[in-house]
Structure 1
Amino acid sequence: MTSTSLADLPYMGAFATPAGEQWRSAVDKVLKGADFEKKLVGRTADGIRIEPLYPAATGSAARPLRQQQGRWHVAARVDHPEPAEANRLALAELEGGADWLSLSFVGAAAARGFGLAAKTVAELDAALSGVMFDLVRLRLDPAPGARRNALLLADLVESRGLAGDAVEIDFGMDPIGALASSGTLSVSLPELGQNLAETIGALKAHGFRGPFLAADGRPWHEAGATEAQELGAVLATAVTYLRLLEAQGMPLAKARDAISFTLVADTDEFLTVAKLRAARLLWDRVQQACGLEARPVFIHAETAWRSLTGRDPHVNLLRGTVATFSAGVGGADSIGVQPFTAALGLPDAFARRIARNTQLILLEEANLWRVADPAAGAGGFEALTQALCQQGWRKLQDLEAESAEGISGIVGALANGHVQQGLARERASRAKAIATRREPITGTSEFPNLAEAVVAVLAPPPGPRQAAPDSDAAIRVEALPSLRLAEPYEALRTQSDIVAATGARPSVFLATLGNIAAFTARSGFARNLFEAGGLAAPSGDGFADDDKTDLAALVAAFKASGAKLACLCGSDEGYAAEATQAAKALAEAGATIWLAGRPGELEGRLREAGVENFVFAGTDAVAALQDALAITTSSGQVDKE
């Protein structure tokens, strides 16, 4: 093949390239005086501007490349409590195309209350029977017993007659992440450094090359972290490990090589790609600050737990695909995809196969791996990457400046509450966006499906475990929560399902005014809203009589429905003409009356006629649905916690 230049493509010069000023002038004509910033400029949770248009990136910026180009590794989790069943699932994963197994022992946050229950070499050997360690990579999910798990796996490798340098294992020890999740650390930081150095030394003595420590972004992300906060926490964790190991006499270059990163791939494609790229550039900067020649860090990416839904879980297939695509484009070295049923319990073989195939299709059919850093030169991606580098570095510096009781850095920031307070602010802001549906969740807060199909899991989620208090803990902090964004709506759906299991599902009568053309928009809005809380809201052809509403037929239909709550749905013109009379008629029939839409100047008249609440775009849907359930359930009360 011969290369082709732009000069060989004469049609490329057939059209003049418009200048930015020309584009802006055309846009201003369309906006007709509307605010450009409000209409076309967005902002991320970190305050980073998202422009509507970016020029091509120019210059010779550093490239965030991996150590080894080519295919990323397809990771699959081994988390079944029973070794025999764990083995069956693990072999199916490998036969189906996975080349990396993530071992989640009991207690690992990633195991979600399950986890491989292997305490002896024999039990672990049974769980990994038939797994050829010299062909399959292994990684350990961080867990409170990480040192024991690491040494147990090393003993198994040795018992099979394999040298440590013949296998590739990421031992995944992350005691700082475990501290953040559990709230306790059994030893002081100097003792932790000694323990880590001794464990790494013992593993290296048997030939293992590591990495041994994981700076894991999942605890922070699941507690509500923004992209910059996750980057800052991961970097601060890694820097703390560098200090601890250096204090034990380990050269910085070897300490650096002992660390890998785990980052979360979320459903925002642009931010996920930029986050992974920024992580590499930021780590290069840390290495340079340490006087080291920069080497690419190994990054494992996992699709976001907090974005999974337990309702209409098949939508998780789309979320997982977007996140996996983003992680691949962003340059992850390995990727783990959450099975689409993970929020409902222990995933079965089918859900695991779909998760695995999500990666394989993107690798084998989309060929994403064939281009190193596909986002290079794209103005939007480059701008976001640089902005996240700036924000992530600032978050790192903030964490480094914190201290408590002589402990500095990220552990000090956990101990004095700085981290918890910052994440709580982000959770509150995100919760508001979710509740008002400014940030919609498809299948949950938008387009809910009350007739969703039941999906299979191997076991339902175990109840919350009460960890035994560690009276001897050297460091105590407020544990970070692990939350999914859809939980407030799912709690409402569960309450509705409990009522439905003993009789009829709670329902709302949509009192439509005028003809179909007049009420369809708002009846659709109201139905979507109420079904998000598990309340049925059927809508028919209406009660129009020569484009007016037959109030007698409307009231008769309300009485026949058995509903307690009626929601008026119509056009602004219809409300002005008929809403007052309809509200009075429904109130006389015993209805609690709401109205879909903003009342405007009619509010006083409507409230006097009996309308008690108004629901519209921007309403706190969670609060409104709690009230609606309280009205429609026989007890008249709903637990709002």
Structure 2
Amino acid sequence: MSNNMKNIEFEIPAYSDWQDAAIKALKGKPFESLFTKTNEGVTLQPLYTQESLVAKLGEELDLQVATIRSQQNNQVFQVAQQIHADTSEAFFAQLEDSLARGNEIITIDSRVNFVWTEEVLVKLASYFSEYSFKITIQNSKDPLLAVFDHIVEDQREAVKGFIVSKDPISLGAFPSVRSVSADTTVYHNEGANAVQELAYALALAAKFAEQEDSFEAFSKKFFVSFAIDTQFFTEIAKLRAFKVLWKAFSSAYGVSNNVKIPTVAETSLRSFSKLDVYVNLLRSSNEALSGLIGGADLFTVHPHDVLTKPTEQSIRIARNVSLILKEETNVLKVTDPAGGSYFIESLTADFVKEAWALFLEIEAAGGIDEYTASGELAEEIEKSYRTRINAAETRKQSLIGTNIYANPADALEQETNPLFADIKRIAIPFENLRGKMTAAHVQTGILAIGTLKSAKPRADFVAGFLNTVGLVPEKSEPVTTVEEAVAWLKATEARYVVIAGNDEDTKELVPAILANKSADVIVDVAGKFKDEEEAWLANGLNGFIFAGQNIIEKLQSVFASMKEVQR
């Protein structure tokens, strides 16, 4: 039997065969419904094949793969654990602990709760002489920069590190410290998509390159910084695309040799939520794996509770995410592990094409500064942000524990880490409305009509809908008559009630329920009823709850109506 199995050959189906099977499975839905348009404007195909990839890229495919692999640095995915401490004593204790437990890059944001005194800087300088570092500063006058004054002269050439700053920092005595960065996390946190981040990185590089004496001098100081979001394949393709774009960019400056530029990356915080915070741990793990596969050189995993106040445990967990991925996945044993993937290679090429086109558009407008001053950059990012927010509010994008499968028992943490207070997180509308609903002690209910079996699907949907803003609706036992429904409405303390049942029961009972309900109870219906909508609204129905609806807009409207009724 085993010999027979070895000799069996399966015919490779053609794309058209797969397409026919897919159309049949769609049961009337158009085949085009399988195509997905991303926030970057790229259309994702339902299936990628070797033939389609070769047809799309041709000889450019081998060039793309070769370029990405030649741009890869020897040391990849070094652990850059950020230090979070309120005092200088705690700072150095955590620094020592992190280095002992696997941290490879001393990572500091200069905005700390203690003063960078000379004593603290002298002590820190001794670490910078021995370990690589990544520091984030505000400007050239940042007090943390004085640490370099305390490094003895004969050690300065050997000091290695990265300085993340909006403007280039001049450190002539430290040739191995990269102090010119294209920090795209600033745009990412405002809502930029992958194509925009890549284009802005090139535009910043063009700006800074013009300020140096030569491209060679510039490239020795330059690095790029990315935040990695939850869109797994998108972020892998983004990191790979930058390598291809950098090769094209350096070639435009007449550089034919291979100039490797370090990629510094961190987990995105725009996808983090203060609700169900342990889901942030899953998000950051997913993002870190994207960074590992995509070829990031340094990586920072933010603790799952970093939006409020990290603890020793959360910091350790964050560090261990990097260590586990680095040591146990075996990804680092392969150069460019995503290389050759039909989907990722295609997506990488799309990002290269779109980002280069946007970069040229920025340069034609006079460069990144002129483009920013014109308002065009802010307008682009705002459009991308609004698309992302709308996707979350309509559940086209899932934010587990926040806009779907929300736990209303979760206490919304009021403390905010000032370092990350201004990030345009997509969970903020849900957090804000939950805070208002909780403070107002809003009481809601679900009136189930028909049988338990027929009412349950919509009743469960409504409960989940209300849970997203912390509401726990009182649920009725299923009722089958108008009298039972009206009696429950009179008995409940809920001032907002959603009627949930199948189409048939809803159409039968709702008109009479509306005729007999109390005026101070706001009533919605679960589902879409286009033919009955006008009449029901005229007879006292507030509105409808249904899949694909904007949750925040709907519940804000309900909240406003409830306040009107209470007056």
TM-score w.r.t. the length of structure 1 is 0.81
Between the aligned partners of 1:530 and 1:148, the Cα distance in structure 2 is: 46
Moved more, 423-432 or 213-222: 423-432
Residue 281 of structure 2: aligned partner = 317
1:535-550 matches, cutoff 5 A: 535-539=471-475, 542-544=477-479, 549-550=480-481
Between the aligned partners of 1:606 and 1:12, the Cα distance in structure 2 is: 67
Shift of 1:379: 0.3
Q: Secondary structure at the match of 1:204?
A: coil
Shift of 1:312: 1.3
Residue 57 of structure 2: aligned partner = none
Residue 123 of structure 1: aligned partner = 120
- Cα 1:315–1:464, aligned 2, differ >3 Å: closer, same or farther? closer
Between the aligned partners of 1:413 and 1:351, the Cα distance in structure 2 is: 40
- Cα 1:464–1:264, aligned 2, differ >3 Å: closer, same or farther? closer
Answering whether residue 412 of structure 2 is matched by residue 510 of structure 1, we say no
**Aligned match for 2:498, one of 558, 567, 574:** 567
Residue 584 of structure 1: aligned partner = 515
Segments of structure 1 that go 5 or more residues without pairing to the other structure are 1-8, 107-114, 176-195, 403-407, 466-480, 500-504
Shift of 1:534: 2.3
Residue 100 of structure 2: aligned partner = 95
Mapped contact 1:78–1:116 kept (Cα < 8 A): no
Residue 243 of structure 2: aligned partner = 280
Mapped contact 2:482–2:509 kept (Cα < 8 A): no
Moved more, 227-236 or 525-534: 525-534
Between the aligned partners of 2:297 and 2:187, the Cα distance in structure 1 is: 21
Residue 358 of structure 2: aligned partner = 395
Between the aligned partners of 1:561 and 1:12, the Cα distance in structure 2 is: 70
Between the aligned partners of 1:88 and 1:633, the Cα distance in structure 2 is: 52
- Cα 1:429–1:68, aligned 2, differ >3 Å: closer, same or farther? closer
Residue correspondences, number = 552
Moved more, 97-106 or 143-152: 143-152
**Aligned match for 2:64, one of 57, 62, 65:** 62
Mapped contact 1:71–1:363 kept (Cα < 8 A): no
Between the aligned partners of 1:93 and 1:538, the Cα distance in structure 2 is: 49
Shift of 1:29: 2.4
Shift of 1:588: 3.1
Mapped contact 2:34–2:46 kept (Cα < 8 A): yes
User: 2:277 corresponds to which letter in structure 1?
Assistant: P
Cα displacement string for residues 175-205 of structure 1 (whole angstroms, at most 9, x for unaligned residues) = 2xxxxxxxxxxxxxxxxxxxx5xx53xx333
User: 2:160 corresponds to which letter in structure 1?
Assistant: E
User: 1:350 corresponds to which letter in structure 2?
Assistant: Q
Mapped contact 2:306–2:417 kept (Cα < 8 A): no
TM-score w.r.t. the length of structure 2 is 0.91
Between the aligned partners of 1:506 and 1:258, the Cα distance in structure 2 is: 56
Shift of 1:70: 5.0
Cα displacement string for residues 242-287 of structure 1 (whole angstroms, at most 9, x for unaligned residues) = 0111xxxx22111112100101110000100000000111011100
- Cα 1:605–1:67, aligned 2, differ >3 Å: closer, same or farther? closer
Q: CA-atom RMSD, angstroms?
A: 2.6
Between the aligned partners of 1:15 and 1:225, the Cα distance in structure 2 is: 45
Between the aligned partners of 2:38 and 2:160, the Cα distance in structure 1 is: 38
Residue 525 of structure 2: aligned partner = 595
Answering whether residue 110 of structure 2 is matched by residue 105 of structure 1, we say yes
Mapped contact 1:564–1:590 kept (Cα < 8 A): yes
Residue 389 of structure 2: aligned partner = 431
**Aligned match for 1:618, one of 518, 531, 548:** 548
Shift of 1:22: 1.6
- Cα 1:209–1:326, aligned 2, differ >3 Å: closer, same or farther? same
Answering whether residue 21 of structure 2 is matched by residue 19 of structure 1, we say no
Residue 331 of structure 1: aligned partner = 295
Shift of 1:581: 2.1
User: 1:583 corresponds to which letter in structure 2?
Assistant: L
Cα displacement string for residues 566-596 of structure 1 (whole angstroms, at most 9, x for unaligned residues) = 11111111112222223333x2374211111
Shift of 1:157: 2.7
Shift of 1:151: 3.9
Mapped contact 1:435–1:622 kept (Cα < 8 A): yes
Shift of 1:135: 4.5
Residue 72 of structure 1: aligned partner = 77
Mapped contact 1:105–1:118 kept (Cα < 8 A): no
Residue 338 of structure 2: aligned partner = 375
Cα displacement string for residues 105-132 of structure 1 (whole angstroms, at most 9, x for unaligned residues) = 12xxxxxxxx364444322345x49x74
Residue 159 of structure 2: aligned partner = 167
Answering whether residue 424 of structure 2 is matched by residue 483 of structure 1, we say yes
Shift of 1:490: 0.7
Mapped contact 2:291–2:299 kept (Cα < 8 A): yes
Between the aligned partners of 1:279 and 1:74, the Cα distance in structure 2 is: 21
- Cα 1:12–1:310, aligned 2, differ >3 Å: closer, same or farther? farther
- Cα 1:631–1:226, aligned 2, differ >3 Å: closer, same or farther? same
Segments of structure 2 that go 5 or more residues without pairing to the other structure are 55-60
Mapped contact 2:87–2:113 kept (Cα < 8 A): yes
Q: Secondary structure at the match of 1:584?
A: helix
Between the aligned partners of 1:12 and 1:401, the Cα distance in structure 2 is: 61
